[in-house]
C-alpha cells in the first residue's frame, strides 16, 4: 500500500518517507538540546532534593560531556558495523531508558550513571544523525539538513528550559517536579525510538556491505524516478571505488595532521569562549547578581534559538571566516562588559543592595554574547570541520574533533562555578574574553575560508602543500 502511494507522488516532490526521515532526525537534534539544556532551570530543584554542593552541581552537569566523549568515540564503530538505522535505534533506546529511570529519582550515584548514559546517547546522536541524513535524504535537501539539526538543538534547549520553569513554579515539591522534568525528555525520546523502526537503512551503508538490491529498494522509497535511482546508485558505486577510510593511522600523514590541528583548535575555542557556562549556569550566574525570575531563566535559551536562524543565511552570504571574526569580537566585548559588571558588584550578596546599572549591563552583555556565538562559532565550527578533512579521513577527523569538543565542554562545566567561587565572579568572564582574543588571532593565521570552493578542490590544495589559511582559494 505504501509503495503504491509512493508511485503516485509527482516527480520533483518528496515522498512521505523523506519527511518522516527528516522528522525523526530532527527529534535526534531536539533530544540533544533537551539533554544539554536540562540543567539550567532544574539545578535548583535538583539541589533541593539531592542537597548538592557546588562541586556536586559541577560534577552532575559535566558528566553528560564525559558520556558524550565515549559516545562520539564509539559511534563510528557502531555506524560501520551495526548500520546507521540500528545505531539510531540504540541512541533512541538509551535516551528513553535513561530518562525514564531518572524519573524514579534513584540514589545520586545511579542518577549520575544515568546522566552519563544520556551523554553517551547525545554523543552518538551528534555523529550518527547527520551521517544518516547525508546518506539517505535526496541530494537537493542534504545541505540544509545539517543546519536543521543544529537549529533543533537550540529549540530543544529552549523547550526544556521553558517546561522546567513551568514545572518548577507549578509543583513546589522536588519529588513531584523532578520526575515530570525527566518524563518530558522521555516522551520525546520514546517518539524518536518508536519512529526509528519505520526508517529505511542508509543506501550507502547497504552498498558498502554489498547489498545493492536492498539499497535500490530504499532509493525506490525516497526518490521519484528510475533516472534518479540510477544516478544515485552510480554515484555511490563511484564513491565506493575511492578511499573507504584510512583508519586512525592517517593522523600521522603531514597533510592530514595540519587540518586536524585546525579542527581540534576550532572545537577547543568553541568551548573556551564560555558558551556552555551560559547554557548550563545562566540562572545561577544571574542569581549571583541578584537577578531572579523568568528573565534570568529564559534569556539565554530564547536568544540562542532566535539568533541561530540568521546563521543559515549569513554563512553563505558573508562566509565562514568573517562570521568567526564577528562572533569572536562580539563575545570579547560582551565578556569584558560582564566582567566589569560583576567587578562593580564586588562581594555584595544582598540582591536589594545591588544597583540596577550592573544588572542591566550584565543582562545586555549576555544577550549580545549569545547573539555573537549563535550566528558564528556555534554552527560555523561544525560546518568548517565537516569541510576541511579529505575524503579518506573524514570520519576520523570528525570523530577526533567531536571528542575534543565534548572534552573541553566537560572541563569548562566541571570547573566554572568553583573558579568563580575561588577567584571572584568577574574572573571567569575576563578569562573567556582572553580566549576570544587568542581565537581571533588563530582564525586570522590558520583558518581557511571554505565558502564557494568544492571539497575536492580544497583537498587538492591541501595535498599540494597550500598553506592552511589559503586552502579555500582557487588555483
pLDDT, tens digit, for every residue of 446-466? 998 887 776 667 878 888 888
pLDDT of res. 10? 40
Q: Report which of residues 104 and 309 the model is more confident about.
A: 104
pLDDT of res. 5? 36
Task: Look at residue 18 and tell me whether its pLDDT is greater than 80.
Answer: no
For the segment 226-252, the average pLDDT, to the nearest whole number, is 72
Fold match between domain 1-199 and domain 248-475: yes
Q: Report which of residues 331 and 156 the model is more confident about.
A: 331
Task: Look at residue 365 and tell me whether its pLDDT is greater than 80.
Answer: yes
Q: What percent of the chain has pLDDT over 90?
A: 24
Task: Look at residue 7 and tell me whether its pLDDT is greater than 50.
Answer: no
Task: Look at residue 142 and tell me whether its pLDDT is greater than 60.
Answer: no
According to CATH, the topology of domain 248-475 is Growth Hormone; Chain: A; (1.20.1250)
Q: Tell me how crowded residue 107 is: count the other CB atoms within 10 A of its CB.
A: 9
pLDDT of res. 11? 39
For the segment 373-401, the average pLDDT, to the nearest whole number, is 82
pLDDT of res. 454? 67
Task: Look at residue 442 and tell me whether its pLDDT is greater than 80.
Answer: yes
pLDDT, tens digit, for every residue of 262-285? 999 999 999 999 888 888 788 888
For the segment 104-124, the average pLDDT, to the nearest whole number, is 93
Task: Look at residue 239 and tell me whether its pLDDT is greater than 70.
Answer: no
Task: Look at residue 163 and tell me whether its pLDDT is greater than 60.
Answer: yes
Give Cβ neighbours of residue 288 (< 8 Å, ≥ 6 apart): 342, 420, 425
Task: Look at residue 6 and tell me whether its pLDDT is greater than 50.
Answer: no
Domain spanning 1-199: CATH 1.10.287.130 = no
Q: CA quadruple 101, 172, 414, 162: dihedral positive or negative?
A: positive
Q: Report which of residues 12 and 435 the model is more confident about.
A: 435
Give the pLDDT band of residue 241 (cuts 50, 70, 90). Answer: low
pLDDT, tens digit, for every residue of 55-95? 888 888 889 888 988 998 888 788 888 888 899 899 999 99
Q: What is the mean pLDDT of the chain?
A: 83
Q: What percent of the chain has pLDDT over 70?
A: 89
Distances (CA, A) of 128 to 138, 199, 402, 406, 472: 17, 14, 12, 16, 27
For the segment 222-239, the average pLDDT, to the nearest whole number, is 76
Least confident among 237-246, 378-387, 415-424: 237-246
pLDDT of res. 242? 56
pLDDT, tens digit, for every residue of 327-342? 999 999 999 999 999 8
d(CA 133, CA 130): 5
pLDDT of res. 186? 93
pLDDT, tens digit, for every residue of 415-432? 888 898 889 888 999 999
pLDDT of res. 271? 93
pLDDT of res. 9? 39
Nearest Cα residue to 439 out of 242, 317, 222, 270: 270
Please state the domain extents for the chain. 1-199, 248-475
Amino acid at each position: 500500500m505504501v509503495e503504491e502511494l509512493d508511485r503516485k507522488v509527482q516527480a520533483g516532490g518528496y515522498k512521505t518517507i523523506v519527511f518522516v526521515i527528516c522528522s525523526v532526525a530532527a527529534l535526534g537534534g531536539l533530544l540533544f538540546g533537551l539533554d544539554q539544556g536540562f540543567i539550567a532551570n532544574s539545578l535548583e530543584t535538583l539541589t533541593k532534593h539531592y542537597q548538592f554542593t557546588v562541586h556536586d552541581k559541577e560534577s552532575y552537569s559535566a558528566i553528560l560531556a564525559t558520556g558524550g566523549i565515549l559516545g562520539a568515540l564509539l559511534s563510528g564503530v557502531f555506524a560501520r558495523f551495526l548500520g546507521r538505522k540500528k545505531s539510531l535505534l540504540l541512541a533512541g533506546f538509551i535516551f528513553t531508558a535513561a530518562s525514564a529511570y531518572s524519573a524514579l529519582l534513584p540514589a545520586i550515584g545511579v542518577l549520575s550513571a544515568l546522566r552519563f548514559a544520556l551523554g553517551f546517547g547525545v554523543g552518538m546522536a551528534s555523529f550518527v544523525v547527520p551521517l544518516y541524513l547525508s546518506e539517505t535524504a535526496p541530494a537537493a535537501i542534504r545541505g540544509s539538513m545539517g543546519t536543521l539539526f543544529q537549529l533543533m538543538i537550540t529549540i530543544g534547549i529552549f523547550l526544556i528550559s521553558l517546561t522546567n520553569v513551568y514545572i518548577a513554579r507549578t509543583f513546589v515539591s522536588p519529588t513531584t517536579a523532578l520526575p515530570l522534568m525527566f518524563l518530558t525528555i522521555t516522551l520525546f525520546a520514546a517518539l524518536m525510538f518508536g519512529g526509528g523502526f519505520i526508517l529505511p537503512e542508509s543506501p550507502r551503508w547497504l552498498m558498502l556491505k554489498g547489498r545493492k538490491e536492498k539499497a535500490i529498494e530504499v532509493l525506490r522509497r525516497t526518490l521519484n524516478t528510475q533516472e534518479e535511482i540510477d544516478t544515485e546508485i552510480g554515484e555511490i558505486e563511484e564513491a565506493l571505488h575511492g578511499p573507504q577510510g584510512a583508519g586512525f593511522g592517517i593522523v600521522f600523514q603531514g597533510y592530514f595532521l595540519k587540518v586536524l590541528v585546525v579542527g581540534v583548535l576550532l572545537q577547543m575555542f568553541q568551548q573556551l569562549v564560555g558558551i556552555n557556562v551560559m547554557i548550563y549556569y545562566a540562572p545561577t550566574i544571574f542569581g549571583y547578581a541578584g537577578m531572579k525570575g523568568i528573565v534570568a531563566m529564559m534569556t539565554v535559551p530564547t536568544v540562542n534559538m532566535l539568533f541561530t536562524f540568521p546563521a543559515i543565511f549569513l554563512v553563505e552570504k558573508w562566509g565562514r571566516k568573517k562570521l568567526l571574526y564577528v562572533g569572536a569580537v562580539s563575545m570579547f566585548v560582551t565578556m569584558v562588559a560582564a566582567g566589569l559588571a560583576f567587578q562593580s558588584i564586588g562581594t555584595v550578596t544582598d540582591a536589594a543592595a545591588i544597583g540596577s546599572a550592573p544588572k542591566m549591563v550584565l543582562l545586555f552583555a549576555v544577550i549580545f554574547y549569545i547573539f555573537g556565538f549563535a550566528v558564528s562559532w556555534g554552527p560555523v565550527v561544525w560546518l568548517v570541520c565537516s569541510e576541511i578533512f579529505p575524503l579518506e579521513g573524514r570520519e576520523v577527523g570528525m570523530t577526533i574533533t567531536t571528542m575534543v569538543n565534548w572534552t573541553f565542554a566537560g572541563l569548562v562545566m566541571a570547573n566554572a562555578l568553583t573558579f568563580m567561587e575561588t577567584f571572584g565572579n568577574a574572573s571567569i568572564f575576563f578569562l573567556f574574553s582572553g580566549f576570544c582574543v587568542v581565537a581571533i588571532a588563530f582564525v586570522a593565521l590558520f583558518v581557511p575560508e571554505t565558502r564557494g570552493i568544492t571539497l575536492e578542490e580544497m583537498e587538492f590544495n591541501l595535498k599540494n602543500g597550500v598553506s592552511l589559511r589559503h586552502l579555500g582559494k582557487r588555483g
